[in-house]
Amino acid sequence: MSNLDGKRLLLGVSGSVAAYKSAILVRLLRQAGAEVQVVLTEGGSRFIGEATLQALSGRPVRSDLWDAAVEAAMGHIELARWADLVLIAPASANLLSALAQGRADDLLTTLCLATRAPVVVAPAMNRAMWEHPATRRNRALLEADGVTFWGPSTGPQACGEEGVGRMEAPEQILERLERHFAPGPLAGLRLLVTAGPTREAVDPVRFIGNRSSGRMGYAVARAARELGAKVTLVSGPVSLPTPEGVERVMVESARQMEGEVLARIEQCDIFVATAAVADYRPREIAPQKIKKGEERMELALVRNPDILAEVASLPDPPFTVGFAAESEALEDHARQKLRNKRLDMIAANLVGPGRGFEEEENSLKILWNGGGVDLPRVRKELLARRLLEIVAERYHEKQKHKAQGA
């Protein structure tokens, strides 16, 4: 059976000659068992007829934000919620620009703002348009917002030029969708991840921070999504794009992070705390920028909440995974943390010069009550994937025990 069976796809078709490929794509998606709702933009309708797309998708094509009769049957917000994935193929330069600006002046752009489903675009345009700085800028903005780009591919173009800008072949897009919807060991589970550093304000312009890049946490969020989980990432200030299909909530301080985590914790099955949360914050935040004065200055600090420990001690906690960055006696300190914070699992690594925070690679010692495994030094992306496969195993093991005990 296809992974697309029963999946609800909202297919946006915008103004490009590649729109003829959308018809083939609709046919392939329907054959794979997906429900397909086509949304045609004004530009798209210049290249392909509604009747074709309607016949192939088996549903009336939507194109108008203002059609009261159609809106009454399924309003645009409902339609945005209905979708498991929004795919725009072809996505024209104009459409990318509108999405990057967050415009909502037609049905398709409005749906993209209103949906919580992953948004994927398959661009199609002339080579020079694709390479234009404005299009590059729009792409960077969209990627930062979590939009995924499939293609464009390279080859002869309808305009007679040769180069990058062709919409990917429908068969290739189908393959990508199959992979996207492949069920993983975390399918159906909801995962909450904290990542990055926190900033603890001293005054309106200064803060106490740390060197966490957020890479490990973002890699964990991405890997969890790829393994099938529904993922929310509560992130301190970092300069990383939102991983595909992940909901991201940005925070600054430890207390904001605590608030956002606690507000969501009841709806989550697994909690992974990778954030480098400041242990202390200034006792008071000066209302104005502190002026230079005395030779010495002392800053009074108070303890921050330990978010991980707080979550693990809830009456009905999720499966809880902590991280431990240690500079010595790795296993002893990590086991202690596992016990003291009552965690289900801890991922420990040595930090120091050339290790940990700002590195692309890392190794991890993963420990749980009664067991453990060492993951050798690899890129953080791969490491996160391995870690999450172990999390999935241990989670299902724990559920089995719970069920047997009940």
Which positions touch ligand C5P (CB under 6 A)? 194, 254, 273-275, 277, 279, 304-308, 322-324, 337
- Core vs surface per residue 375-387: b (16+ CB within 10 A) or e: beebebbebbbbb
Q: At closest approach, how far in Å is the CB of 204 from ligand C5P?
A: 23
Contact by Cβ (8 Å): 54, 38: yes
Q: At closest approach, how far in Å is the CB of 234 from ligand C5P?
A: 10
- Output 109 or 198, the one with its CB closest to ligand C5P: 198
Q: Measure Cα distances from 60 to 51, 57, 240 in Å.
A: 9, 8, 39
376 three-class SS: strand
Contact by Cβ (8 Å): 21, 90: yes
Q: At closest approach, how far in Å is the CB of 279 from ligand C5P?
A: 6
Our CA dihedral for 364, 258, 339, 196, rounded to 10 degrees, sits at: 10
- Output 230 or 337, the one with its CB closest to ligand C5P: 337
- Output 7 or 365, the one with its CB closest to ligand C5P: 365
- Output 228 or 322, the one with its CB closest to ligand C5P: 322
Distance CA 214, CA 220 (A): 10
- Output 148 or 253, the one with its CB closest to ligand C5P: 253
Contact by Cβ (8 Å): 89, 13: yes
Contact by Cβ (8 Å): 238, 218: yes
Q: Which residue in 104, 141, 159, 164 is the catalytic one? A: 159
Handedness of CA 75, 96, 381, 197 (dihedral sign): negative
Contact by Cβ (8 Å): 64, 70: yes
- Core vs surface per residue 38-74: b (16+ CB within 10 A) or e: bbbbebbbebbeeebbeebbeeebbbbbeeeebbeee
Distance CA 368, CA 334 (A): 10
Cβ within 8 Å of residue 67, ≥6 positions away: none
Distance CA 348, CA 352 (A): 13
Contact by Cβ (8 Å): 307, 341: no
Q: At closest approach, how far in Å is the CB of 297 from ligand C5P?
A: 25
Residue appearing with tokens 């199959």: 178
Q: At closest approach, how far in Å is the CB of 259 from ligand C5P?
A: 13
Is 159 noted as a catalytic residue in this protein?
yes
- Output 140 or 314, the one with its CB closest to ligand C5P: 314
338 three-class SS: helix
Q: At closest approach, how far in Å is the CB of 208 from ligand C5P?
A: 13
Q: At closest approach, how far in Å is the CB of 237 from ligand C5P?
A: 15
Q: At closest approach, how far in Å is the CB of 260 from ligand C5P?
A: 12
119 membership: H or E segment, kind and range: strand 119-123
Distance CA 382, CA 396 (A): 22
- Output 151 or 322, the one with its CB closest to ligand C5P: 322
- Output 26 or 307, the one with its CB closest to ligand C5P: 307
What residues are labeled active site? 159
